Amino acid sequence: MTALTAATRAARPGRGRRLVHNPYLLLLPALIPVLILSVLPLIQGIYLGFTDAEAGRNVVTNFNGIENYVRLLDNALYWSSFQIGLVWAFSTTFLQLLLGLTLALLLNEPLRMRALVRTLVLVPWAMPPVIVAILWNLVYQPDAGLLNNVLRSFGLLDRGISWLADFNTALAAVIVVGVWSGMATVTISLLAGLQNISAELYEAASVDAAGPWQRFRHITWPQLLPVTEAIVALNFIWNFNSFGIVYVLTKGGPGTTTMLPPLFAYNEGFRYGHFGYAAAMGNVMVVVVVGMLLLYVWYRRRHAA
């Protein structure tokens, strides 16, 4: 009787209408932290970009229009950081895709201890960026670092190299860390895509005596292309906005060799106290990222039609 009564009450039209009219209430536990921690700071940052806010000022912050953005147009160092950021983002994203695809293809084969290797692949992803940077800082140490010791043991070096302090090697060294840190997500995503490819396609290719390269070119790569496009787009945006790894490793140095746009804006705001000017830099980055997302959406819609 109790079960019948509960079922009858659940089937009442009034109760059903109340549930239909309030579905968004279920999203509030997730929306409230996003609004407080992401949307509100974004709105405040956009507002500060149009003010002369500075640290330690006793006067009221004034609205100065586009003055900060006019200053940015003449800031050659900031646009140089954009060039460095693009080099970093392109290089890191490309190498993550290349190595991640290679590793995914290997892990898709029936190898021994494959489950253990797949678990180990996730280790860089599970580590916080700051910890990753600290560990690689030890690897790159000029005297006791693992990299220099290995190279010296093979007779490739006579003395230690300061990989992170040398103008010629700092950016490349940081890119290696970025690739190692982000390659796990690329590998797992591509591996999932590989496992969704129908085995019948490969069986038909075997009947036609297709070789490994032909199977990859005509089956694997076309089937992975949608996943690959999404990974490349999201990783490029993520890498362009990188901060933690580069800040801990080099703080943008030596000089401005590894000064990415987020680091430049951080120094301007929290080192020099020019909050309004730094917020304007951040707003420019937001526009660039939104432009990248719109470009990706346009590309997907064009090719989906």
Does 11 score more than 80 pLDDT?
no
Task: Identify whether 144 is part of a domain.
Answer: yes
The answer to whether 246 touches 91, Cβ cutoff 8 Å, is no
Task: Identify whether 32 is part of a domain.
Answer: no
For 20, counting Cβ atoms within 10 Å of its Cβ (0-12 exposed, 13-18 middle, 19+ buried), the class is: exposed
Q: Which of 280, 212, 240, 282 is nearest to 89 (CA)?
A: 240
CATH code assigned at 94: 1.10.3720.10
Quickly tell me which residue has 């009450």 as its tokens.
9
More confident residue, 278 or 143: 278
How far is 69 from 1, CA to CA, in rounded Å?
71
Looking at residue 270, its amino acid is F
Does 15 score more than 50 pLDDT?
no
Name, in order, each residue with C-beta under 8 angstroms of 270's C-beta and a sequence gap of 6 or more: 278
Does 53 score more than 80 pLDDT?
yes
pLDDT (average), residues 251-275: 91
The pLDDT > 70 percentage for the chain reads 91
Where does the chain have alpha helices with state H? 2-10, 13-21, 28-34, 40-48, 67-73, 76-107, 114-121, 123-126, 129-139, 146-153, 170-195, 199-207, 212-215, 221-240, 244-249, 261-266, 275-304
pLDDT for the residue numbered 202:
86
pLDDT (average), residues 255-279: 92
In the DSSP assignment, the letter for residue 256 is: T
Does 7 score more than 60 pLDDT?
no
- Look over the chain and give the mean of its residue pLDDT values, rounded to a whole number: 86
The residue count of the chain comes to: 305
- Domain of residue 110 covers 75-273
The answer to whether 184 touches 121, Cβ cutoff 8 Å, is yes
pLDDT for the residue numbered 245:
93
Total domain count for the chain? 1
pLDDT for the residue numbered 207:
84
**What are 30's two structure tokens?**
């997730």
How far is 196 from 145, CA to CA, in rounded Å?
42
How many Cβ atoms are within 10 Å of 179's Cβ, its own excluded?
22
Task: Identify whether 47 is part of a domain.
Answer: no
- Lowest-pLDDT choice from 78-87, 199-208, 215-224, 279-288: 199-208
Q: Mind listing the pLDDT tens digit for each residue in 130-153?
A: 999 999 999 999 888 899 999 888
pLDDT (average), residues 261-272: 92
The answer to whether 149 touches 160, Cβ cutoff 8 Å, is no
pLDDT (average), residues 189-195: 91
pLDDT for the residue numbered 14:
47
Quickly tell me which residue has 């190692």 as its tokens.
180
pLDDT for the residue numbered 26:
82
How far is 149 from 157, CA to CA, in rounded Å?
9
The answer to whether 260 touches 84, Cβ cutoff 8 Å, is yes
User: 21 falls in which pLDDT band (50, 70, 90)?
Assistant: low
Task: Identify whether 291 is part of a domain.
Answer: no
